[in-house]
Amino acid sequence: MNYYEKLKLIRKSKNLTMKEVTHKANISQSSLSYIESGSNTPTIETLANILNVYGMTLSNFFDDNSSDTIITPELKELLDNAKNLTPKQLAILTEFLKTLK
């Protein structure tokens, strides 16, 4: 995954709108749109400001082994539903999910 796709995924996983991020990061909405589409490359300062809104540092953004996992809304819903399963149901679901790979 490239950096601009990752930025967009993080924003969406945190349920933030472009307007919210741009206001807090002190950049224009068009700038964020261009960055998230890969049309523009942000400066280090701009990227750090955006990541600060997400509660991240440059270091953990670029660390592929970082413990900060991006959880999309769809994955969050799946995890929330799985929390209510019995151990047997969870085992069945796990086996089913393996067949989808």
> What's the pLDDT score for residue 10?
92
6-9 LR contacts (CB < 8 Å, sep 24+): 6/61, 6/70, 7/35, 7/36, 7/50, 8/36, 9/70, 9/72
pTM: 0.68
Q: How confident is the model at residue 60 (pLDDT cuts 50, 70, 90)?
A: confident
pLDDT score at 35? 97
- The rounded percent of the chain whose pLDDT value lies above 70 is 92
Per-residue model confidence (pLDDT) at position 11:
94
